[in-house]
């Protein structure tokens, strides 16, 4: 089942980040195309940078956090990718 933005997740496996197994984080990004999820960006409380995990590395909790707990709501932008090129949408 596809995880959702701002869903709390548990890291259940990770070859790249084995020390994070068992930790709870929040999905802040989803890498996908044509309905295929390639991975998830996950933020951990108190850490400035997120990490990328493969779908099988994470288990959703079904709980969600408010966007404002992760981001400063005064600084938002939307990036659109078209024909392999990204641009900021006004």
Would you list the DSSP string of 25-49? EEEEEEEEETTEEEEEEEE-TT-SS
pLDDT band at 52 (very low <50, low <70, confident <90, very high): very high
- Confirm whether 40 is domain-assigned: yes
What pairs with residue 39 in β-bridges? Answer: 31
CATH number of the CATH domain containing 58: 2.30.30
**Rounded to an integer, what distance in angstroms lies between the CA atom of residue 69 and that of residue 77?**
17
pLDDT (tens digit per residue) in 15-39: 999 999 999 999 999 998 888 899 9
Q: Let me know if residue 55 belongs to a domain.
A: yes
81 belongs to a structural domain: yes
State which residues form the domain around 48: 7-89
Distance CA 72, CA 83 (A): 30
Domain assignment present for 1 = no
Instruction: Give domain status of residue 2, yes or no.
Output: no
Distance of CA 34 to the CA centre of its chain: 18
pLDDT, position 20:
97
Count of domains in the chain? 1
Comparing CA positions, the residue from 13, 21, 10 lying closest to residue 61 is: 10
């Amino acid at each position: 089942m596809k995880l959702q933005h701002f869903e709390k997740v548990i890291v259940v496996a990770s070859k790249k980040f084995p020390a994070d197994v068992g930790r709870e984080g929040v999905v802040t990004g989803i890498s996908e195309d044509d309905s295929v999820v390639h991975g998830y960006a996950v933020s951990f409380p108190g850490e400035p940078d997120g990490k990328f995990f493969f779908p099988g590395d994470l288990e959703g909790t079904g709980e969600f956090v408010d966007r404002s707990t992760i981001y400063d709501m005064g600084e938002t932008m939307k990036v659109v990718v078209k024909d392999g090129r990204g641009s900021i949408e006004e």
